[in-house]
Amino acid sequence: MQSNRASEASLSETNLPETSLTGISLPEGEPSEVGLSEAELVQVELAQVELAQVELAEISISEPERSHLKQATPQQATSQSSAALLGIQSGRLPGVQQAGLSPALLASPAERAAQGGHIFFKAEKGVLYLYLPSNQTAVEWSVIWEQLQHRLEASQRIWPPQTPVYLVANDRLLDQRQLDQLAVALSNAHLILRRVLTSRRQTAIAAVTSGYSVDQQLPTLGLPAIASPAASRVAALTSPELVLAEPLYLETTLRSGGEVRHPGSVVVVGDTNPGSAIIADGDILVWGRLRGVAHAGAQGDRDRQIMALQMEPTQLRIADQVARAPAKPPNQVYPEVAYTTPEGIQIMRAADFAKQYSKQSGK
């Protein structure tokens, strides 16, 4: 028990940087520039294209493939030809660390989701596990319920009808009304709530009263199919890789205020509107318009990419790098890929990126 508590404490401690990140990602909050002091803006690329005399704010995007930009100012056009890849105006996100450094990263995807305050689904052996955010995150029930509705709606086609659901409530306190709400939401999506796993006595009683099987877990221990934090840390020592969850596949329009967080890659079939946010530990692929905020490699993995059929983001973030979109949208649209370079985030036409990428891996 003692060691468990200690590990829990270290988990929440190392999560602190992540909370400061959440502050930035709030769509209605302070403009994200707050997070980026002017000094932190990457200046390297400016020197590279000899645009030093132009004001930083006016450079906005500079990416050779976007032809309208070349037309914008002849000065830029000439200097751009020398630089093959130019970043959007980039900056650094404080608080995101390089992968593999923080013990929090070595927690399992479900644990990261629970600590990050969002729901998480995991399918295993014909059973769907639904993890609820930990009580320590102080996420309100109404928020969880809204998340759940959107997720069920967007994932309807994936899970076969009548799939049993095991609710992993952990230390979250649920009353009977909430359990019933949950069961109704699940049954609307043709899923059946079967079992409740909880470490709280009240939740267990409520679940029994509603007629579900109950597993009472020890606090922090006993997530099914997931090793305890201590064990996963040991595993992580041998392989310091970030464990990603299965990719999340969503068929939906992500509207303003909608936020998807996932400890793996995210695929959205549909548009993401301004005011929405996708925060993924893996890659982000939007089969539609990307107009909100997208943060790939949110745990610090710079090798992650953001792909979209139509790239018009409010802001792109990969690991600790930030880039904001051009003030003027491009008049031509084609699928594009955003990736990181030492100079900042770059965008490239998807067709060209495929070539470039295969060249790099050939090296």
The count of chain residues that interact with another protein, using the rule CB under 8 A, is 16
Q: Contact between 186 and another protein (CB under 8 A)?
A: no
- Using alpha carbons, select from 4, 239, 217, 223 the residue that is nearest to residue 105: 239
Cβ count near 306 (within 10 Å):
29
CB of 274 to another protein, least distance (A): 6
Residue 361, both tokens: 């891996």
CB-CB contact of 130 with 165 (8 Å): yes
Residue 83, both tokens: 């630089």
Q: Contact between 255 and another protein (CB under 8 A)?
A: yes
Footprint of another protein on 298-337 (CB under 8 A): none
End-to-end, the C-alpha distance of the chain in Å comes to: 50
SS3 label, residue 71: helix
CB of 198 to another protein, least distance (A): 25
**Residue of 111, 271, 283, 301 that binds another protein (CB under 8 A):** 271
Which residue stretches of the chain are H helix?
2-14, 16-25, 44-48, 56-59, 67-72, 74-80, 109-116, 141-154, 176-188, 201-209, 229-238, 350-362
Q: Contact between 176 and another protein (CB under 8 A)?
A: no
d(CA 135, CA 146): 17
Q: Contact between 257 and another protein (CB under 8 A)?
A: yes
CB of 152 to another protein, least distance (A): 10
- Using alpha carbons, select from 312, 331, 352 the residue that is nearest to residue 67: 331
In this chain, which stretch among 46-54, 89-97, 167-175, 268-276 interacts with another protein, using CB under 8 A? 268-276
Q: Contact between 19 and another protein (CB under 8 A)?
A: no
CB of 258 to another protein, least distance (A): 5
Cα 125 off chain centre by: 26
Q: Contact between 247 and another protein (CB under 8 A)?
A: no
Q: Contact between 10 and another protein (CB under 8 A)?
A: no
**Backbone angles phi and psi of 362, in degrees to 5:** -70, -30
**Residue of 20, 149, 187, 213 that binds another protein (CB under 8 A):** 149
Residue 204 CB contacts under 8 Å (≥ 6 apart), including other chains: 196, 198, 214, 216
**Residue of 7, 97, 176, 253 that binds another protein (CB under 8 A):** 253
Q: Contact between 22 and another protein (CB under 8 A)?
A: no
Q: Contact between 187 and another protein (CB under 8 A)?
A: no
Closest to another protein by CB, 73 or 253? 253
Cβ count near 162 (within 10 Å):
9
Segment (H or E) for 337: strand 336-341
Q: Contact between 275 and another protein (CB under 8 A)?
A: yes
Closest to another protein by CB, 288 or 335? 288
**Residue of 140, 146, 180, 241 that binds another protein (CB under 8 A):** 146
Q: Contact between 66 and another protein (CB under 8 A)?
A: no
C-alpha distances (whole Å) from 235 to each of 6, 227, 245, 265 are 18, 9, 16, 22
Q: Contact between 258 and another protein (CB under 8 A)?
A: yes
CB of 100 to another protein, least distance (A): 36
CB of 137 to another protein, least distance (A): 20
Closest to another protein by CB, 95 or 275? 275
Closest to another protein by CB, 237 or 327? 327
Residues that bind another protein (CB under 8 A): 145-146, 149-150, 153, 188, 253, 255-258, 271, 273-275, 291
